[in-house]
Amino acid sequence: MISRDHPRYHSLIQREMITEAWRRGILADSGMIAHGRGEAFDYLLGERTTEPAARAIRAAAAALLLAENPVISVNGNTAALVPGAVVELADAIGGKIEINLFHRTEKRVRLIEELLLENGAREVLGTDELLYIDDIKSPRATASPDGIYSADVVLVPLEDGDRTEILRESGKTVITIDLNPLSRTSRKASISITDNIVRAIPALIEAVRELEDLSRDELELILEEFDNPENIRETLKLIDLRRYNPEL
Ligand code: PTJ
pLDDT class for 92, splitting at 50, 70, 90? very high
Average pLDDT of the chain to the nearest whole number: 94
Kindly state if the Cβ of 38 falls inside 6 Å of ligand 1. yes
> Could you identify the atom of ligand 1 that is nearest to the CA of residue 196?
34
Is residue 21 predicted with pLDDT exceeding 90? yes
pTM flag (> 0.75): yes
Measure the CA–CA gap between 67 and 174, rounded to whole angstroms: 11
Rounded to whole angstroms, what are the CA distances from 217 to 98, 154, 223, 224, 234?
A: 29, 21, 10, 10, 27
For ligand 1, mutation pick of 33, 158, 185 (most atoms within 8 Å of CB): 158
Centre of ligand 1 to C-alpha 76, Å, is 9
Centre of ligand 1 to C-alpha 221, Å, is 31
> pLDDT by residue (tens digit) across 161-197?
888 988 999 999 999 999 999 999 999 999 999 999 9
pLDDT class for 6, splitting at 50, 70, 90? confident
Cβ–Cβ under 8 Å, residues 87 and 120: yes
Which among 38, 138, 121 has a CA at the least distance from the CA of 72?
121
Measure the CA–CA gap between 96 and 146, rounded to whole angstroms: 9
pLDDT class for 137, splitting at 50, 70, 90? low
pLDDT class for 55, splitting at 50, 70, 90? very high
Give the count of beta carbons closer than 10 Å to the beta carbon of residue 137.
8
Kindly state if the Cβ of 156 falls inside 6 Å of ligand 1. no
Q: Which amino acid is at 227?
A: D
16-20, 162-166, 172-176, 206-210: segment of lowest average pLDDT:
162-166
Average pLDDT over every residue of 155-162: 90
Give the distance, in angstroms, between the CA of residue 228 and the centroid of all CA atoms in the same chain: 16
How confident is the model at residue 130, as a pLDDT? 82
